């Protein structure tokens, strides 16, 4: 459902131009679990941002469910980000002044919904990640793993089709990383498409498909043109 055609992205800072991505052709099908790997600075985070519509490509086209994104204005893109995508970041990005439950229901605030409905969905999402008991706590009262689980709950509360995770286990130890991966695999088995950027080779092997990025380009491009259905 996500299709990138000849996408390129250049960053301009002061007088230096950096070519972050070059001629990327990529397709991700419904229900896939894709891991993106590559050394630091190779552009995989940039690629994730473009897939998640956080950034626009310099050249090339992005299609979501067959609809080209070039024509979309900021308001429509925001709506897509709200309903179709869910984000999980390496540094969690929880709002420290809000309780866990308020953090989780954040995406729902940008949809018209009753307060009671929001609360219900947020509670459900927290149950799904196993943190039902920690609803009234503040983020700084939780461990790293728990905070990331809250971030996952926030990402899934709106029942998005696609989850985009940027090194979700980067700040966690092995035990917590395993917890988080279990949750992600469970979600994928329930039908959510997941695109994950990771450093960890072992982790990557647990998922359906690996896309390797090097110097802004895909490695083995031919293997990535066709989607692979999850086992």
Partner 1 sequence: MLRHLLKLTWKRKSRNLMLSLEILIAFAIVFGIAAFGLRYWQLYREPIGFDGRDTWAVRMKMGEIQDKEIPAEIYDTLRRSLLELPEVREVGFAAYSPYTMSTWTTTFKSSQTGADVPTHIFESGDSTASALGIQLVGGRWFGHEDDGQAAQPAVLNKRMAASLFPGRSPLGQQFTSTDKDSLRTFRVVGLVEDFRNQGPLMAPAPFVLTRFEPHTGKSRARVILVKVAPGTPRGFEVALNRRLKLVRNDWSYEIAPLQAMRTSLLKEHLIPLIVVSVIAAFMVAMVAFGLFGVLWQNTTRRIPEIGLRRAIGASAADIYRQIVAEQLLLSSTAMIVGLILLVQLPLTGAMGEALNWGVFIGAAALSMGAIYLLSLLCSLYPGWRASRLSPTEALHYE
Binding site for partner 1 (CB under 8 A): 46, 49, 52, 54-55, 74-75, 77-83, 87, 89, 93, 95, 97-98, 102, 106-107, 109-111, 115, 154
Q: Are 197 and 54 in contact (CB under 8 A)?
A: no
33-57 core/surface letters (b: 16 or more CB in 10 A; e: else): bbbbbbeeebbbbbbbbbbbbbbeb
Q: How far apart are CA 118 and CA 140, in angstroms?
A: 23
CB of residue 174 to partner 1, shortest distance in Å: 26
Q: Which is nearer to partner 1, 44 or 209 (CB)?
A: 44
Q: Which is nearer to partner 1, 81 or 209 (CB)?
A: 81
| Closest residue by Cα to residue 107 from 122, 92, 97 | 122
Q: How far apart are CA 10 and CA 87, in angstroms?
A: 23
Q: Which is nearer to partner 1, 102 or 124 (CB)?
A: 102
Q: Are 111 and 78 in contact (CB under 8 A)?
A: no
Q: Which is nearer to partner 1, 75 or 205 (CB)?
A: 75
CB of residue 55 to partner 1, shortest distance in Å: 5
CB of residue 77 to partner 1, shortest distance in Å: 8
CB of residue 107 to partner 1, shortest distance in Å: 4
């Amino acid at each position: 459902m996500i299709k990138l055609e000849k996408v390129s992205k250049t960053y301009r800072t002061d007088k230096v131009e950096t070519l972050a991505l070059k001629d990327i052709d990529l397709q991700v099908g419904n229900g896939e679990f894709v891991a993106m790997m590559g050394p630091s600075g190779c552009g995989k985070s940039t690629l994730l941002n473009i897939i998640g519509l956080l950034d626009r490509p310099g050249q090339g086209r992005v299609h979501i469910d067959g609809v080209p994104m070039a024509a979309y204005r900021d308001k429509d893109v925001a709506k897509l980000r709200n309903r179709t995508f869910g984000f999980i970041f390496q540094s969690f990005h929880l709002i420290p002044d809000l309780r866990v439950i308020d953090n989780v229901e954040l995406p729902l605030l940008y949809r018209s919904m009753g307060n009671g409905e929001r609360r219900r969905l947020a509670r459900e999402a927290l149950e799904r990640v196993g943190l039902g008991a920690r609803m009234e706590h503040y983020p700084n009262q939780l461990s790293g793993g728990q905070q990331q689980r809250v971030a996952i709950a926030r990402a899934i509360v709106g029942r998005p089709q696609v989850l985009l995770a940027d090194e979700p286990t980067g700040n966690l130890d092995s035990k917590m990383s395993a917890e988080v991966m279990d949750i992600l695999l469970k979600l994928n088995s329930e039908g959510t498409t997941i695109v994950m950027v990771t450093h960890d080779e072992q982790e990557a092997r647990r998922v359906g498909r690996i896309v390797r990025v090097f110097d802004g380009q895909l490695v083995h491009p031919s293997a990535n043109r066709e989607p692979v259905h999850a086992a």
